[in-house]
Structure 1
Amino acid sequence: METDRTSDIPAPLPAGTRLLHIGPHKTGTTAVQGALFAARERMGEHGVAFPAHSRHPMEAALAACGRPGMMGDTVPTEGHWARLLERVRATGASTSVISSEFFADAPDDATIARIVGQLGGDRVHVLVTLRPLARIMPSQWQQYVQNGLRMGYEDWLEHMLRKPPYDRPTPSFWRRHRHDRLVARWARAAGPGRVTVVVVDDRDRGGLNRAFEALLGLPENLLRPVPDTVNRSLTLAETEMLRNLNVEFRGNGLPDGLYSRLVRNGAVTHMKNTYEPAPADVRIATPRWAAEAAAAIGASAAERIGALGVRVLGDPGPLSTVPEQPVPSPQEPRLAPEAAARALYGALAAAAAGGAGTAGARGVHRTPSRELLRVLGHRGLKRLRRR
């Protein structure tokens, strides 16, 4: 296996490469996408283009893979993918970088081969970022809950690890996170020599940005963390609040669009961006049996990836170890009053800003409180007048 430590700087990819970062989910994708988008003008000065019009071209990636969108969100169309391809082609001979973890959802070899071909064939270099599976599982579960899942964590682990065929209720999980099969699928399309795997070291917060800088031939420290894109995980109490809300939401047959606007992009987004969990807030703890099962799968995956002939940056050892888990609390998790207030405000603000021009376009958590209150008050007066 060709393995380098991330401390050993890899040589830049050839000029004109189209670097395609496919995630998968929960491997630092949101943070690196934010850093790339924030630095896009400075990257241009060094001959590297960021062709996407936003931090994360999610709809384009979903459309390319033939996958549905998040619950209640914009329906991906072929037009989303076509527009991204146009922007990629417009970069000409420049090096460019495209990043979306939803490319990991590509269902089969034919879809992957088409994506690679449309992006430039031999010019495409695929980048896969990996973290230990035992660290991914709690983050991925709470992400599924943010998309409407109603199953508790331990029940979900039972289905993923102990109940064949391991594809319910979230069939996308193993497509994304059976990492050896994911790398193999993309290596078959792009060729092993045009695939790089970066093993993310959670102790080194700048390591992933440095790997991108090295591969793209960018100066050190050009990519910097962007606070707005620190996609923190929910605490256990926050996730349980949302999971129980999902039960009520589904049980009452409310429309998916309402969930997207008021819950995921309103309550949850505002809470995540404005409330920092305290040390006393209970984190999601993975049972020992599940962490050991995940480590065994990680060990098998690391061995198979090593035999594929792709380049591996970083130490693959952590993929097969059982990471330390939060000590389970003997008490029921309690939602902090401040977190509840932030979530409730986010939902109210989303309701107020939903059709309010610039407020809705900016997103609730970036709209000044005074403006949101003004919109909410204006709508309240209109309703009173109608009555």
Structure 2
Amino acid sequence: METDCTRLPAGTRLLHIGPHKTGTTSIQGALFAAKDQLPAYGVEFPAHTRHPMEAALAACARPAMMGDTVPTDRHWTKLLEQVGATGKRTSVVSSEFFADAEDDATIARMVEQLGGDRVHILVTLRPLAKIMPSQWQQYVQNGLRLGYEDWLKHMLKKAPYEKPTPSFWRRHRHDRLVERWARVVGPERITVVVVDDRDRDGLMRTFESLLGLPDNLLQPVPDAANRSLTLAETEMLRNLNKEFRGNGLPDELYSKLIRNGAVMHMKNACSPTPQDVKISTPRWAVEAAAGTAAEMIDRIAQMGVRVLGDPALLSAVPKPSGQASEQVSEEPRIAPEVAAQALYGALAAAAAAPVRHTTPAKARTVHQTSSVELVKVLGHRCLKKLRRH
């Protein structure tokens, strides 16, 4: 473990590869907000958006989120042009989806295109036990129908631990992630940062030190759309996913009305209260995750990469809290206001623009059609009548 956060050489192209749920959204928002101030210190944030997700997905040849537009090589090429325009100045690119690169050839191609020897890889890590509930609810936002404890059993107890979400261990078997990138760039060009959740701004200060920025230049940017869902919100969405899949509706409809309509509006309009039941990881899963984390720490320590922070945090088993029991005693209930905001978000998304889906839905009777779709159809008909009047 090192505590010396030495500034990277001028002209470095810093590639932050996440993985997911390790403070990526927070640092991306802070860098983008300071975009116009960075050049005064010889640093550029070349992406034109907070998170160049489509470019990273295209570069790694990974699919888009359920129902979203498929990324193309043009997304990646555009980002490369933006990076190239920074010339000899230091630049930083951040996307957790770079962690989805599966093989050495893909990684080697991306590194070469981004600048070859100038590229330095930054990996941010948090304890698996804290990542798992956040990652599960994120999978539910992309259509997953499996309950939390069943999903944990698949990830921790059922070899080969790849179903139903094969991306989880590709991202979060952190020793293998670091090893994949070290084989290409060498361990001397990789920095691993252990995120300490007790120090809310610690990751900001680490980026400032690595990039040679003044203290406190990077500041958190409030982002309600990135908040995690409560247990009740996630369960509501998971049950909706069952209805959605059971009725064979097109993926484009899910992207438009559910993820970017109902869920997005609900996140922005409703803030969780202390009374909301959080997603609680059972003790057996916390201990299993801590054991896996300990194995990963040992392997990373042997690779020769620079590690900033305390690796022991990654395998620490937290003390049980009031909700960290084997069974949650309180039944999660969705508040009427939250349900109303979610429904409004779906209706507003439907009214904003028609959904053009590539896969036609099967013909069904009214009795075979889910209530969600019936509300959508009714909404469209009402809008048509209003427009005629």
Normalised by the length of structure 2, the TM-score is 0.90
Q: Corresponding residue for 2:365?
A: none
| Contact 1:30 1:229 (C-alpha < 8 Å) held by counterparts | no
What SS class does the counterpart of residue 36 from structure 2 fall into?
helix
Answer whether contact 2:225 2:267 (CA < 8 A) is retained: no
**Paired residues for 1:123-138 under 5 Å:** 123-138=118-133
- Corresponding residue of 2:310: 315
Q: Which residue of 2 aligns with 1:370?
A: none
Q: State the partner residue of 1:242.
A: 237
Letter of the 2:330 counterpart: Q
Q: Which residue of 2 aligns with 1:32?
A: 27
Aligned partners of 2:276 and 2:225: how far apart in 1? 18
Alignment of 1:170-319 (within 5 A): 170-228=165-223, 231-319=226-314
C-alpha distance in 2, partners of 1:229/1:336? Answer: 18
Give 1:381 shift: 5.3
**Distance (whole Å) between structure 2 residues aligned to residue 284 and residue 198 of structure 1:** 26
SS for the counterpart of 1:282 is coil
* CA separation of 1:381 and 1:320: change in aligned 2, threshold 3 A: closer
Partner SS state of residue 96, structure 1: strand
Give 1:265 deviation, angstroms: 1.0
Counterpart CA distance in 1 for 2:380 and 2:236 is 30
Aligned residues: CA RMSD: 1.9
CA separation in 1, counterparts of 2:16 and 2:218? Answer: 16
- Counterpart check, 1:54 vs 2:52: no
Question: C-alpha distance in 2, partners of 1:318/1:12?
Answer: 24
- Any idea what SS the aligned residue of 1:215 has? helix
- CA distance in 2 between counterparts of 1:129 and 1:144 reads 20
SS at match of 2:121: strand
Determine the C-alpha separation between the residues in 1 that align with 2:142 and 2:383: 33
Note the alpha carbon deviations across 1:194-238, whole angstroms, 9 max, x for none. Answer: 100000011111011111111111111111111126721111111
Task: Output one character per residue of 1:326-358: Cα deviation in whole Å (capped at 9) or x when no partner.
Answer: 3343131111222212212221222222369xx
- Give the aligned residue type for 2:112: G
Conserved? CA contact 2:22–2:126, under 8 Å: yes
Tell me how far 1:52 sits from its aligned partner: 0.9
Q: Which 5+ residue runs of structure 1 have no aligned equivalent?
A: 357-376
Is the CA contact 2:351–2:380 (under 8 Å) kept in the aligned structure 1?
Answer: no
The Cα offsets for residues 285-325 of structure 1, whole Å up to 9 and x where unpaired, read as 11111110000000010111111111101111111111245
Shift of the 17–378 alpha-carbon distance from structure 1 to 2, 3 Å rule, reads: same
C-alpha distance after superposition, 1:152-181 (max 9, x if no partner): 011111111111111000000000000000
- How far apart are the structure 1 equivalents of 2:166 and 2:114? 27
1:221-261 deviations in whole A, cap 9, x for unaligned?
11111112672111111100000000000111111111111
Q: Is the 8 A contact 1:23 1:103 kept in 2?
A: yes
Residue in structure 1 matched with residue 324 of structure 2 by the alignment: 327
Distance in 1, Cα, partners of 2:89 & 2:40: 11
Contact 1:73 1:260 in 2 (8 A): yes
Is 1:342 equivalent to 2:341 in the alignment?
Answer: yes
Partner residue of 1:108?
A: 103
Aligned pairs, how many?
A: 363
User: Counterpart of 1:239 in 2: which secondary structure?
Assistant: helix
Q: 2:98 aligned with 1:96, yes or no?
A: no
Measure, in 2, the Cα distance between the counterparts of 1:385 and 1:121. 57
Q: Is the 8 A contact 2:350 2:380 kept in 1?
A: no
Q: Which amino acid counterpart does residue 254 of structure 2 have in structure 1?
A: Y
Q: How does 1:361-380 map to 2 (within 5 A)?
A: 380=382
